[in-house]
Amino acid sequence: MRWDKPILTDCGGFQVFSLSDLRTITEDGVEFKSHLDGSRHFFSPEKVMEIEEDLGADIIMSFDECCPYPSTYEYTKNSMERTTRWAKRCKEAHKTDQALFGIVQGGFYEDLRKQSVKDLVELDFPGYAIGGISVGEPKEKFLEILRMTAPLLPEAKPRYLMGVGTPDYLLEAAMAGIDMCDCVLPTRIARNGTAMTSKGKVVVRNAEYAEDFGPLDDECDCYACKNYTRAYIRHLVKCGEILGIRLLSIHNIKFLTNLMERVRIEIENDNLGNFVKDFYKKYGYTKEEK
């Protein structure tokens, strides 16, 4: 990869959720049916540890089940308890010095979230992730579980919120005490011709940008903004040229990187709350959306 910086690998738990039509869950693990040729592949917690250790990432995740929204209390409870048992098996199978994180599950039931945190903290992982939110639920439900769960995790260990990548959700995560987030969003929307900017989303493939010779974002210092115009990137996207997607991906990732660098500065200055309020106003979110 030629990436001489920290690398994190996930465990496949999200695919247990997203590929539900192609998998079967048992206590031993999960069997997936390939969408390519119908072949079957079985992943146990031990197998997942073997794969992640072979990949050699700095941070690896224990195997979990991510529940869909909504799910019944009984289903969520069984899933959460199985996730804890799998986490224990992952820790027992873990043989390297890679940092193995436990993943808090429990859906949108506060008592299950609290039990999951308690059980995983007793296993003494070097870091903890919050999984199973940002899976299609209303924003108020997301915020409710985030703000309830994050403070329960140990302050002296990394707190990781999985699957979050919009500017407002990243800011809410920081406000709740989260240290790390991940998401495919910046590159996914780039493939659809969309840029994140300091003034909101810009769907650059739209006709209004055909003769717009300004940068994607006049406040951004990324390679794309310094060297290419909206009109040219739109031309690339409309023609199906891969460079257009690459430039939008570079920009979106740099936009979020710049945002989180600013968040760290505002935390050090004890000014994060004011910054978030100003960002919401500038970015175009209404009070109700916040």
Mean pLDDT estimate for the chain: 95
Q: How many C-beta neighbours within 10 Å does residue 92 have?
A: 12
pLDDT for the residue numbered 289: 43
Contact 62, 102 (CB under 8 A): yes
Residue 37 annotated among the catalytic residues of the structure: no
- pLDDT tens sequence across 21-50: 999 999 999 999 999 999 999 999 999 999
pTM of the model: 0.93
> Could you give the C-alpha distances from 264 to 57, 174, 257, 274, in angstroms and in order?
25, 9, 11, 13
Is residue 28 among the annotated active site residues?
no
Quickly state the pLDDT bin for 281 (edges 50, 70, 90): confident
> Annotated catalytic residue: which of 168, 179, 182, 212?
182
For 162-168, what is the mean pLDDT?
95
Q: Who wins on pLDDT, 28 or 283?
A: 28
- For β-strands 23-25 and 30-33, DSSP reports them as antiparallel
| Active-site choice (4, 10, 28, 37) | 10
The predicted pLDDT at position 1 comes to 84
E strands in 8-58: 8-9, 23-25, 30-33, 40-43
Q: Which two tokens stand for residue 116?
A: 């999951």
pLDDT score for 285: 64
The residues near 280 (Cβ < 8 Å, ≥ 6 apart) are: 168, 171, 287, 289, 290
Q: Mean pLDDT over residues 255-271, rounded?
A: 97
Residues 6+ apart with CB under 8 A from 2: none
Q: What is the mean pLDDT of residues 255-261?
A: 97
Angle value at C-alpha 268, between 195 and 256, nearest 5 degrees: 10
Per residue in 119-143, pLDDT (tens digit) is: 999 999 999 999 999 999 999 999 9
* pLDDT tens-digit map of 189-211: 999 999 999 989 999 999 999 99
Query: What digits encode the pLDDT tens for the residues 91-130?
Result: 999 999 999 999 999 999 999 999 999 999 999 999 999 9
CA distances 58 to 88, 121, 255, Å, are 20, 20, 24
